[in-house]
């Protein structure tokens, strides 16, 4: 029974697993946590809810689920240029399943320890499996990187590679299995879907160099279009410059490009940088790729390898379980 004690569940499985920070006056165990927000910092706060059958498959490995539930929230902090500090967890569980809780909490702890974030409170309820995590990050006052700061002429960058998680999802949802991909490719793509790497190491360079940023949860086109809308600008993307993993490069070019543009769940960062800072940025950061530039003219233009232009049809990326 979950109702046996929500308190003991959170304490038993989670309290000792995450980082211990000196700015936590009081963590799990009282009516509220007490947290010290330093002078000159702003608190960056974000919440994300994952529902079984909507955001994840019922048979997902609980370790992967715990990791990803926190990683997607850490990704939002990275996109704002904020450093992870604390998080709270609300778990709705159909039953008290110790093996599931072990796996889930261990995955969560792996993500938490890698980013020095501490669990400071939680709640458990009985019901269909649902995970809500709220993260709190710290950023120098006035220095957060928002979606509304992109300027015409800015270079558009993305971190890592695009489309990997989308390919893994397509494999799972459509039984799509092209001959060019072998077991090692599928393992690599699946890893990207289940264990996305939150790009918190980019938070500081983003604060220094970027005018605007977002994390790619719904697909590059969908998420970049949020920046364009909020900043009241347009963009030209060089679609042959999209960064692809070695597995994605084995696919037909058109298909790889389509996945890189439109599929979600990669949790890479997309950000815009004034051209005069581009060289310094590229010297400081590896694993980022310039894919286009911001334009004063609204709209999103895709430029192909031979220079042909098409206007992007901005739709939502993969809708998890769109069926």
Smallest separation, CB 46 to Mg ion (Å): 7
Which of 320, 190, 212 lies closest to 264 in space, CA to CA?
320
Closer residue to Mg ion, CB minimum distance, 76 or 154: 76
Is residue 164 close enough to count as binding Mg ion by CB under 5 A? no
Min dist CB 314 to Mg ion, Å, is 17
Nearer to Mg ion, 10 or 80 (CB): 80
Q: Which of residues 96-115 bind Mg ion (CB under 5 A)?
A: none
The region of 72-80, 109-117, 232-240, 269-277 touching Mg ion under the rule CB under 5 A is 72-80
Question: Any residues with CB less than 8 A from the CB of 217 and at least 6 apart, and which?
Answer: 72, 75, 223, 264, 265, 267
Q: Which is nearer to Mg ion, 10 or 214 (CB)?
A: 214
* Integer Cα distance of 26 and 131 in angstroms: 23
DSSP for 42-62, written as a single string: EEEEEEEEEEBTTTB-TT--H
From the list 70-78, 91-99, 185-193, 229-237, the region that binds Mg ion by CB under 5 A is: 70-78
CB of 24 to Mg ion, least distance (A): 25
What the block records as the tokens of 320 is 């998890």
* Nearer CB in complex with Mg ion: 215/265: 215
How many Cα neighbours within 13 Å face the side chain of 157? 29
Please check whether residue 226 is in contact with residue 316, taking contact to mean a CB–CB distance below 8 angstroms.
Answer: no
Closer to Mg ion by Cβ: residue 76 or 194 = 76
Strand partners, 273: 155
Distance in Å, CB of 317 to Mg ion, minimum? 12
**Smallest gap, in angstroms, from Cβ of residue 166 to Mg ion?**
16
Q: How far apart are CA 210 and CA 270, in angstroms?
A: 10
Q: Which stretch binds Mg ion (CB under 5 A): 14-22, 71-79, 172-180, 313-321?
A: 71-79
Q: Hey, is 236 helix, strand or coil?
A: strand
Q: Supply the minimum distance, in Å, between the C-beta of residue 79 and Mg ion.
A: 6
Chosen residue from 9, 33, 76, 138 binding Mg ion by CB under 5 A: 76
How far, in Å, CA of 210 to CA of 233, rounded? 15
Dihedral sign for Cα 230, 231, 234, 235, please.
Answer: negative
Check: CB of residue 127 under 8 Å from CB of residue 269: no
Select 181 or 269, whichever has its Cβ closest to Mg ion: 269
Candidates 74-82, 121-129, 141-149, 161-169: pick the segment binding Mg ion (CB under 5 A).
74-82
User: Which residue bears the tokens 């697993």?
Assistant: 17
Q: Which is nearer to Mg ion, 185 or 215 (CB)?
A: 215
Please report, as residue ranges, which positions from 202 to 241 form the binding site for Mg ion (by CB under 5 A). Answer: 215
CA atoms within 13 A on the CB side of 95: 4
Footprint of Mg ion on this chain (CB under 5 A)?
Answer: 76, 215
């Amino acid at each position: 029974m979950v109702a046996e004690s929500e308190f003991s569940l959170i304490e038993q499985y989670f309290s000792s697993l995450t980082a211990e920070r000196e700015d936590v006056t009081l963590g799990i165990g009282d009516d509220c946590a007490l947290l010290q927000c330093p002078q000159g910092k702003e608190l960056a706060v974000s919440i994300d809810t994952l529902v079984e059958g909507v955001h994840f498959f019922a048979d997902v490995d609980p370790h992967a689920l715990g990791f990803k539930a926190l990683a997607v929230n850490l990704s939002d902090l990275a996109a704002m240029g904020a450093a992870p500090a604390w998080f709270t967890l609300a778990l709705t569980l159909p039953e008290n399943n110790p093996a599931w809780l072990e796996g889930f909490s261990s995955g969560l702890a792996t993500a938490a320890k890698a980013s020095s974030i501490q669990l400071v409170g939680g709640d458990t309820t009985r019901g269909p499996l649902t995970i809500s995590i709220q993260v709190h990050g710290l950023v120098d006052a006035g220095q957060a990187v928002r979606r509304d700061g992109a300027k015409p002429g800015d270079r558009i960058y993305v971190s890592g590679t695009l489309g990997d998680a989308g390919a893994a999802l397509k494999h799972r949802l459509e039984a799509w299995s092209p001959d060019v991909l072998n077991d090692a490719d599928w393992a690599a793509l699946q890893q990207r879907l289940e264990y996305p790497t939150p790009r918190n190491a980019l938070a500081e360079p983003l604060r220094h160099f970027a005018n605007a940023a977002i994390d790619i949860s719904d697909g590059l086109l969908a998420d970049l279009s949020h920046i364009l809308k909020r900043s009241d600008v347009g963009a030209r993307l060089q679609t042959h410059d999209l960064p692809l993993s070695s597995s994605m490069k084995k696919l037909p070019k058109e298909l790889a490009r389509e996945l890189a543009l439109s599929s979600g769940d990669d949790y890479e960062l997309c950000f815009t940088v004034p051209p005069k800072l581009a060289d310094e940025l590229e010297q400081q950061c590896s694993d980022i790729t310039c894919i286009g530039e911001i334009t004063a003219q609204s709209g999103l233009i895709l430029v192909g390898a031979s220079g042909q232009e098409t206007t992007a049809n901005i739709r939502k990326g993969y809708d998890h379980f769109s069926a």
